């Protein structure tokens, strides 16, 4: 049976669809990125660039292999700076967006995990499986030292079973509420006993493992953690649960259950490989439905990286980005709880929106960047034509056309009372006018959207 209209491959491949695709899959994009994508076919760009396997990046320092608890604050900052840099230098790979997706799915908090080193190795695991096999990722996360710390797996013994991980494995990580019983949690916890943490590694202690029979989701046996995952992944709802979450993150906040069922079938047919699902998703008619354009509020990390990337800031102040992300309520490696960041409307408030504006203002006027606004403007072929320049910037920076009144407001801001034909980047006050224009642009509600 062929795919429904929603999942059929789109025939649209133009600046509008490309901008939408880049907005959802990269941490910011430039006019050069758009032109590069347009020089490829949709199939080529998605499969050979966005979903391409990329080399493992160099780690943030020798300390990732050192289990000591020295310099924890400094190391946590280095880890954050390292990841922000990867987000901004990932090229055309969808990888880092998926790493953040998994970070918000298989949640761990540094304050509980204690060592930044453990968070690094978990982050590497998410990167290794960014669009790999979800079942195998679930296996590895289950015995990951950071997760064993965070959800108390290391405290789970046959003498004193701890149900924290067993509950979240089902509720938040694989199958969702309503698809398991309280007894399934009890029995899974018993099967998960015996795993311990030694510094930066985990190991199995046979003496702490419950070797008696367990009955889990209707099956009985002397199960261990691998058996529990095998049984879970026989349930169709696992594939639907993850596809629904991918859809909500990258397509639209209200999943189409017919499309979810089809994506889930692809997921199961590929034995839980993510690439086939993502490939269909990112090429589909539904992904490029105009109703999805600008329907997602940028997360703080997406917002900060977009500003830096779009203005081609060569030497970002990563500590300023870190501090601003904290103000905006998205501290990397510190989600608020096991359910992760809520996202969407929770990202914008009377506190966080002004903080976004302060960040973009300080990048644009050079207080927190090395931006040469005149040099930057001249990278656009339309820089000496005020009306064309405004239109080009709108098309690249925003996900949908502005109303005539909003466009006119931006043009008036750039011209600052002068006639259109008087505009030139060589004008004495051109830098100030460009700063005012870009500050106004990034303060628009439309720029907060992806």
Which pLDDT tens digit goes with each residue over 38-96?
A: 999 999 999 999 999 999 999 999 999 999 999 999 999 999 999 999 999 999 999 99
Confidence check: pLDDT of 22 > 50: yes
Judgement on whether residues 224 and 93 belong to the same structural domain of the protein: yes
Judgement on whether residues 218 and 306 belong to the same structural domain of the protein: no
Mean pLDDT to the nearest integer, 278-299: 96
Tokens of 168: 């979240």
Confidence check: pLDDT of 225 > 80: yes
Judgement on whether residues 40 and 188 belong to the same structural domain of the protein: yes
Angle at 263 between CA 262 and CA 265, to 5 degrees: 65
Q: Domain for residue 39, yes or no?
A: yes
pLDDT tens digit sequence for 143-182? 999 999 999 999 999 999 999 999 999 999 999 999 999 9
Q: Domain for residue 74, yes or no?
A: yes
Last residue of a domain, one of 206, 232, 258: 232
Judgement on whether residues 308 and 208 belong to the same structural domain of the protein: no
Q: Domain for residue 418, yes or no?
A: yes
Mean pLDDT to the nearest integer, 1-26: 90
pTM: predicted TM-score of the whole model, two decimal places: 0.97
What does the alpha-carbon distance between residue 370 and residue 441 come to, in Å, rounded to a whole number? 19
Judgement on whether residues 132 and 228 belong to the same structural domain of the protein: yes
What pLDDT does 400 receive?
Answer: 86
Q: Domain for residue 9, yes or no?
A: no
Last residue of a domain, one of 172, 206, 232: 232
CA-nearest of 200, 135, 194 to 169 is 135
Mean pLDDT to the nearest integer, 290-310: 97
What does the alpha-carbon distance between residue 370 and residue 327 come to, in Å, rounded to a whole number? 23
Do 92 and 44 form a contact (C-beta atoms < 8 A)?
A: no
Last residue of a domain, one of 232, 250, 273: 232
Q: What is the dihedral of CA 129, 134, 135, 139, to 10 degrees?
A: 50
Do 107 and 171 form a contact (C-beta atoms < 8 A)?
A: no
Judgement on whether residues 304 and 198 belong to the same structural domain of the protein: no
pLDDT classification of 328: cutoffs 50, 70, 90: very high
Q: What is the dihedral of CA 104, 106, 110, 113, to 10 degrees?
A: 170
Q: Give the total number of structural domains in the chain.
A: 2
What does the alpha-carbon distance between residue 324 and residue 305 come to, in Å, rounded to a whole number? 11
Confidence check: pLDDT of 4 > 70: no
Q: Domain for residue 10, yes or no?
A: no
Do 188 and 168 form a contact (C-beta atoms < 8 A)?
A: no
Cα-to-chain-centroid distance, residue 357: 22
**What residues make up the domain containing 194?**
15-232
Q: Domain for residue 218, yes or no?
A: yes
Helical spans, DSSP H, in 41-169: 42-45, 72-88, 95-103, 110-113, 116-128, 134-142, 145-150, 164-168
What does the alpha-carbon distance between residue 136 and residue 5 come to, in Å, rounded to a whole number? 31
Judgement on whether residues 312 and 210 belong to the same structural domain of the protein: no
Judgement on whether residues 177 and 317 belong to the same structural domain of the protein: no
Task: State the burial class of residue 345 (Cβ atoms within 10 Å of its Cβ: 0-12, 13-18, 19+).
Answer: exposed
Do 438 and 310 form a contact (C-beta atoms < 8 A)?
A: no
CA-nearest of 234, 192, 185, 232 to 209 is 192
What does the alpha-carbon distance between residue 305 and residue 23 come to, in Å, rounded to a whole number? 11
pLDDT tens digit sequence for 373-417? 999 999 999 999 999 999 999 999 998 899 999 999 999 999 999
CA-nearest of 250, 448, 281, 266 to 356 is 448
Tokens of 15: 């600046």
Q: Domain for residue 228, yes or no?
A: yes
Q: Domain for residue 23, yes or no?
A: yes
pLDDT classification of 5: cutoffs 50, 70, 90: confident
Cα-to-chain-centroid distance, residue 117: 21
Judgement on whether residues 52 and 199 belong to the same structural domain of the protein: yes
Mean pLDDT to the nearest integer, 208-212: 98
pLDDT classification of 1: cutoffs 50, 70, 90: very low
Tell how strand 214-216 and strand 201-204 pair up: unpaired
Q: What is the pLDDT of the chain when averaged over all its residues?
A: 97
Q: How many CB atoms lie within 10 A of CB 14?
A: 9
Cα-to-chain-centroid distance, residue 107: 13
């Amino acid at each position: 049976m062929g795919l429904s209209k929603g999942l059929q491959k789109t025939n649209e491949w133009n600046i509008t669809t490309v901008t939408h695709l880049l907005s959802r899959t990269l941490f910011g994009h430039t006019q050069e990125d758009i032109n590069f994508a347009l020089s490829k076919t949709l199939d080529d760009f998605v499969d050979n660039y966005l979903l391409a396997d990329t080399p493992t990046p160099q780690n943030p320092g020798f300390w990732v292999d050192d289990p000591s608890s020295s310099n924890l604050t400094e190391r946590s900052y280095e880890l954050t700076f390292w990841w922000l840099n990867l987000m901004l230098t990932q090229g055309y790979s969808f990888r880092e967006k998926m790493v953040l997706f998994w970070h918000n799915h298989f949640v761990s908090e540094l304050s509980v995990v204690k060592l930044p080193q453990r968070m690094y190795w978990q982050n590497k695991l998410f990167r290794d499986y960014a669009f790999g096999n979800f079942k195998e990722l679930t296996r590895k996360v289950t015995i990951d030292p950071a997760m064993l710390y965070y959800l108390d797996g290391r405290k789970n013994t046959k003498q004193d079973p701890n149900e924290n991980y067993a509950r979240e494995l089902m509720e938040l990580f694989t199958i969702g509420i309503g698809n398991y019983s309280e007894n399934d949690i009890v029995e899974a916890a018993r099967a998960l006993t015996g795993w311990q943490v030694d510094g930066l590694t985990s190991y199995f202690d046979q003496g702490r493992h419950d070797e008696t029979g367990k009955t889990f989701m209707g099956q009985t046996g002397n199960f261990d953690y691998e058996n529990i995952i095998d049984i879970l992944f026989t349930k169709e709802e696992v594939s639907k649960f993850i596809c629904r979450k991918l859809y909500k993150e990258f397509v639209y906040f209200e999943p189409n259950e017919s499309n979810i069922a089809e994506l889930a079938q692809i997921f199961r047919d590929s034995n839980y490989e993510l690439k086939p699902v993502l490939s269909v998703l990112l090429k589909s008619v539904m992904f490029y439905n105009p109703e999805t354009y600008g329907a997602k509020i940028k997360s703080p990390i997406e917002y900060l990286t977009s500003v830096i990337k779009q203005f081609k800031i060569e030497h970002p102040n990563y500590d300023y980005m870190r501090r601003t992300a904290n103000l905006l309520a998205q501290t990397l490696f510190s989600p608020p709880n096991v359910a992760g960041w809520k996202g969407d409307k929770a990202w914008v408030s009377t506190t966080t929106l002004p903080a976004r504006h302060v960040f973009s203002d300080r990048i644009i006027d050079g207080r927190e960047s090395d931006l040469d606004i005149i040099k930057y403007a001249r990278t656009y072929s339309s820089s000496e034509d005020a009306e064309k320049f405004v239109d080009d910037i709108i098309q690249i920076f925003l996900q949908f056309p502005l109303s005539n009144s909003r466009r006119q407001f931006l043009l008036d801001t750039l011209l600052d009372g002068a006639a259109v034909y008087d505009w030139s980047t060589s004008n004495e006050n051109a830098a100030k006018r460009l700063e005012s224009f870009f500050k106004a642009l990034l303060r628009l509600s439309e720029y907060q959207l992806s």
